[in-house]
A and B are shown apart, each in its own frame.
Chain A
Amino acid sequence: DSGVTQTPKHLITATGQRVTLRCSPRSGDLSVYWYQQSLDQGLQFLIHYYNGEERAKGNILERFSAQQFPDLHSELNLSSLELGDSALYFCASSEAPGLAGYNEQFFGPGTRLTVL
């Protein structure tokens, strides 16, 4: 158990719908990262938040958005869902961003999203 929690574990929805994935980081971690793992694209970095502020963006679609709340939990919102959005979505947390401090990222168990 990494200490990172993600809900829900599984989500099945239809095209065009909107879903919200939730992540709670390890106690004390200020950074939250979101990743998408699909069969054809592999593991892709989506976005990173540090202490409530967006710090880095990766290959995140405009239909996707994220935020980190004052209690440091984060939500990833996926809208206008398409079949190709079906994937495993991971959240990870770490103590600090950049190259300072202890950099290990602890991954949550993931949310499996299926778009029908």
Chain B
Amino acid sequence: AQTVTQSQPEMSVQEAETVTLSCTYDTSESDYYLFWYKQPPSRQMILVIRQEAYKQQNATENRFSVNFQKAAKSFSLKISDSQLGDAAMYFCAYKNRDDKIIFGKGTRLHILP
């Protein structure tokens, strides 16, 4: 069975600095998607970035980028120039061809002014 592990329950970063959130997953499949979702205090789930497993190039969305290491089954999220609005719970998620979606337990990110 597939699993998603986020080993950092909480992290803190100084405003304007860079932070990296870790995610590892376990699967025997070759085709899948990986996602990072943000959940601010409003509880709304917001897609931050996604990565197709067949693409070697790391996805980037403005200040958010991923380091996708398929062989190592690692999918970390880097947030550059951290802003106060980035404070939230971040979930790593895995989705396969059969539409099974598995979320990690989340990492709570604090931004220090």
Contacts and interface: CB of A to CB of B under 8 A. Distances in A.
Contacts, number: 53
Q: Range of interface residues on chain B?
A: 20 to 34
Contacts of B100: 45, 56, 58
B105 to A, nearest CB: 5
A52 interface: no
Nearest to A1: B44
B103 A97 contact: no
Contacts of B106: 42-43
A73 interface: no
Contacts of B103: 42-45
Nearest to B52: A99
Nearest to A2: B44
B91 A99 contact: no
25 contacts: A31-B99, A33-B99, A42-B103, A42-B106, A44-B103, A45-B100, A45-B101, A45-B102, A48-B99, A48-B101, A55-B99, A56-B99, A58-B101, A90-B45, A92-B45, A97-B99, A99-B32, A99-B97, A103-B33, A104-B47, A105-B101, A107-B45, A107-B46, A109-B43, A110-B44
